[in-house]
């Protein structure tokens, strides 16, 4: 039966995203909802946000899965994703201060606590688990905003965030299956299919951007699945390239700030539309700037390098999932 449910939710997300995104792109264009793509010639504008299509597909799949399974974990993941989507949509429509998203995303953590769909036994790789009832609630409140913003901040070039989520969701699904959390694994399938199907339109050269509504929905959903499924460490390892990006940025800027408010850009656009790392001391350190440290690259070459890092981390995350089952 689980196999049938998996096919149903995957097909729902794929069909909605694949067939409704093109008309939605035309809708956004006809209503002037576009933003400049700074790494392209001829002042190219790209429709944004694709978040509503992402959310409609995810919500349709998760509602159907909840009705089929009546699993509260699925309901939690759905509500958490919806709240994050609305927070992102506000940010898409109105320029909000840098602290808005991290603070507002705390609200998305509340359904997990209220519905009690978590296990406060934290499974560590190699060294068994720890029971941390009170501390774990604090971690939930922290994890949703941190992961949401971490995924949001990796949305730097065409196709990066959708491709990254697709790659990073694989070890999550593998770990859930290894832990016999089949219904949560099925709830994670829409995340993978949403990201990989949206990638068709988001990849270089992008025909649509997900916007904050799309990236925060994916990020919060990823974190909610990790918490509800009890695979937090696997999720952390799979997200390491995005975590490194946020860590490098925060460690160099030393405050929570929107990228658009940074005066000195980390990356310079050359005349041939290749990207080059800034050599300014005041420029923030980012993952893209680190990749470009060895020399200029075209935008899609940088994206491929980020995917290599994501695939490497996904492999290490699967190794971590095995190590969690080994106790020494």
Residues that bind other proteins (CB under 8 A): 124-128, 130, 233, 236-237, 240-241, 243-244, 247-248, 251, 277-281, 285, 287, 289-291, 293-295, 305, 308-309, 312-313, 316, 320, 323
CB 309, min distance to other proteins, A: 6
Q: How far is the CB of 251 from other proteins (least distance, A)?
A: 5
Neighbours of 102 (CB within 10 A): 16
CB of 269 vs other proteins, minimal distance in Å: 17
3-state secondary structure of 36: strand
Minimum distance, C-beta of residue 172 to other proteins, in the bound complex (Å): 16
Residue that has been written with the tokens 């990749």 in this structure = 291
Smallest distance, other proteins to C-beta of residue 280, A: 7
With respect to other proteins, which residue has the nearer C-beta, 13 or 306?
306
The C-alpha atoms of residue 229 and residue 179 are separated, in whole angstroms, by: 9
Report in angstroms how near the CB of residue 294 gets to other proteins at its nearest.
Answer: 4
Closest approach of other proteins to the CB of residue 129, in Å:
8
| Smallest gap from residue 125 Cβ to other proteins (A) | 6
Query: Which CB sits closer to other proteins, 227 or 240?
Result: 240
For helices 106-115 and 133-153, give the axis angle rounded to 10 degrees: 140
Bridge partners (DSSP) of residue 47 are 34
Q: Which residues touch 114 (CB under 8 Å, ≥6 apart)?
A: none
CB atoms within 10 A of CB 26: 11
Shortest spacing between CB 241 and other proteins, in angstroms: 7
Please choose, from the candidates 154, 150, 153, 158, the residue with its C-alpha nearest in 3D space to the C-alpha of residue 38: 158
Rounded CA-CA distance 145/138 in Å is 12
Task: Please report, for residues 7, 265, 277, 279, the alpha-carbon distance to residue 285 in angstroms, rounded to integers and kept in the order given.
Answer: 42, 10, 9, 10
Cβ proximity to other proteins, 130 vs 270, nearer residue:
130
Query: Which residue in this structure is represented by tokens 């035309």?
Result: 26
Residues 6+ apart with CB under 8 A from 184: 71, 73, 74, 77, 176, 225, 228, 229
CA dist., res. 169 & res. 140, Å (int): 19
Nearest to other proteins of 181, 289 (CB atom): 289
- Please identify, using beta-carbon distances, which residue of 159 and 241 lies nearer to other proteins: 241
CA distances from 264 to 252, 277, 279 (A): 12, 12, 10
């Amino acid at each position: 039966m689980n196999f049938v449910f998996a096919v149903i939710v995957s097909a729902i997300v794929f069909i909605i995203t694949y067939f409704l995104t093109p008309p939605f792109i035309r809708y956004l264009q006809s209503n002037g909802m576009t933003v400049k793509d700074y790494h392209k010639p001829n002042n190219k504008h790209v429709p944004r946000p694709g978040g509503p299509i992402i959310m409609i597909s995810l919500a349709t799949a998760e509602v159907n899965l909840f009705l089929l399974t009546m699993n509260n974990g699925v309901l939690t993941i759905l509500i958490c994703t919806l709240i994050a989507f609305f927070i992102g949509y506000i940010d898409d429509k109105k320029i909000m201060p840098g602290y808005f998203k991290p603070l507002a995303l705390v609200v998305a953590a509340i359904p997990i606590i209220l519905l009690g769909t978590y296990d406060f036994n934290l499974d560590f790789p190699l060294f068994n688990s720890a029971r941390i009832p009170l501390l774990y609630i604090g971690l939930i409140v922290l994890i949703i905003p941190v992961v949401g913003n971490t995924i949001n901040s990796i949305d730097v070039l065409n196709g990066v965030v959708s491709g990254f989520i697709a790659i990073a969701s694989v070890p999550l699904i593998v770990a859930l299956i290894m832990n016999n959390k089949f219904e949560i694994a099925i709830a994670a399938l829409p995340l993978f299919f949403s990201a990989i199907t949206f990638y068709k339109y988001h990849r270089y050269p992008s025909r649509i951007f997900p916007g904050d509504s799309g990236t925060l929905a994916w990020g919060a959903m990823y974190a909610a699945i990790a918490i509800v499924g009890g695979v937090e460490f696997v999720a952390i390892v799979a997200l390491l390239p995005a975590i490194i990006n946020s860590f490098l940025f925060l460690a160099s800027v030393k405050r929570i700030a929107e990228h658009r408010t940074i005066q000195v850009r980390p990356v310079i656009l050359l005349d041939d539309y290749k990207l080059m790392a800034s050599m300014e001391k005041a420029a923030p350190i980012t993952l893209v700037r680190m990749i470009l440290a060895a020399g200029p690259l075209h935008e899609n070459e940088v994206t491929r390098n980020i995917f290599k890092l994501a695939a490497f981390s996904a492999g290490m995350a699967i190794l971590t999932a095995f190590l969690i089952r080994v106790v020494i």
